[in-house]
Structure 1
């Protein structure tokens, strides 16, 4: 009985602490799921000739199409407000989908970002044909649409199981809200809503790690 009580306390403590210190502006302990088990990236070519996967990573997914220069301001906003804050987490990445043939423009963009950002390892850029990009985008069943150059200023948050995460349900004010993506043209949108939601998702995994560690510690010290 005593051992069970200790286990309950160990499992409950991180949740209680989280509830006390959580700074979310909406009424969620965990970030809601918009859609589950989405498809991983196909074996597309990448800027650094590496295999890029969405699995087992917390991913910010964006579509920058073929006109990279027209969209570079959005990436600079994302870099400053989101990437620079979370690149220190080893399981965090930003994946950008570009149209095949835009490799030179993308390389130039990455060089510009590197002048402001020391750690560029979290950026993964992949290239595909227009049809492939559209098919992959459509797989998320979003309300938003890609523009004529197969880009969008909106980015998505995906968890380690490639579940699409966002806002769904009532906020602290009691109003229904739905957010499937975040607008990179809006510094306020990134700084407030998206920063908050990425923070919640990272805390969610941190909480799970603590819970699993507490379980393991209990097993090691449990009397046979």
Structure 2
């Protein structure tokens, strides 16, 4: 019996551990795609002086809808700044895009001034569009969430480099998680932060694979 136990510990146990972790990598290496095709940003007008056009393509985007009164969104914006934006703004292909109704330029500037006191806004972009354009973009996400009458939502969304909505196909309650509630520090800390890490790791793995294949050619 002792011999069999030693053999199991030396050979079988490491194999079981490897299979366990390998299955974990397969299960968690990719953040699920929840909506394949969404409306693009090109129809919106950038409020950034040095940027004419923004795009989802080639960027990992956190998308938000502050609504008709950006100052009312200030608490949510601070939560996003601290828990989502600041930890990931260092990544070249990361951006945060806030979509606001046209005609709110002054209010947006006030919001940006307050945010700039705590963070560098270089990767935080604001775009404006008509109410119809904003509703079309939000509806194209095809979620179980609603946009308020003032065209705002406390939820933010993860859009990948191909312009697809990412999220959880099975959250704690068994339902899909399309957006992340910025009213909840718990959601931002324990769900959104984890999911952004997953999608960043996914792209890192793809880049390593590409570089390895290129080196062998």
Residues 71 and 110 in structure 2, CA contact (< 8 A), matched pair in contact too = no
For normalisation by structure 2, the TM-score amounts to 0.84
Residues 62 and 97 in structure 1, CA contact (< 8 A), matched pair in contact too = yes
- Consecutive aligned runs of 4 or more in structure 1 exceeding 2 Å deviation: none
Q: Which has the higher helix share?
A: 2
Verify: 1:78 aligned to 2:76, yes or no. Answer: no
What is the aligned partner in structure 2 of residue 38 from structure 1?
A: 38
The CA deviation at 1:39 is: 2.4
Matches within 5 A, 1:10-89: 28-49=28-49, 50=51, 51-89=53-91
Q: Distance in 1 between matches of 2:170 and 2:137?
A: 27
The CA deviation at 1:170 is: 7.6
Larger mean Cα displacement after TM superposition, 161-170 or 182-191: 161-170
Unaligned stretches of 5+ residues in structure 1: 1-15, 220-224
Change over 3 Å in CA distance of 1:144–1:177 after alignment to 2: closer
User: Cα deviations across residues 80-114 of structure 1 (Å, max 9, x unaligned)?
Assistant: 00100000001000000001111111111111111
RMSD: 2.0
The structure with the largest alpha-carbon Rg is 2
Q: Distance in 2 between matches of 1:131 and 1:38?
A: 15
Q: Distance in 1 between matches of 2:149 and 2:88?
A: 31
Residues 58 and 91 in structure 1, CA contact (< 8 A), matched pair in contact too = yes
Verify: 1:178 aligned to 2:179, yes or no. Answer: no
Structure with the bigger RCO (C-alpha within 8 Å, sep 6+) is 1
Unaligned stretches of 5+ residues in structure 2: 1-17
Q: Secondary structure at the match of 1:97?
A: strand
Matches within 5 A, 1:1-224: 28-49=28-49, 50=51, 51-117=53-119, 119-169=120-170, 176-219=174-217
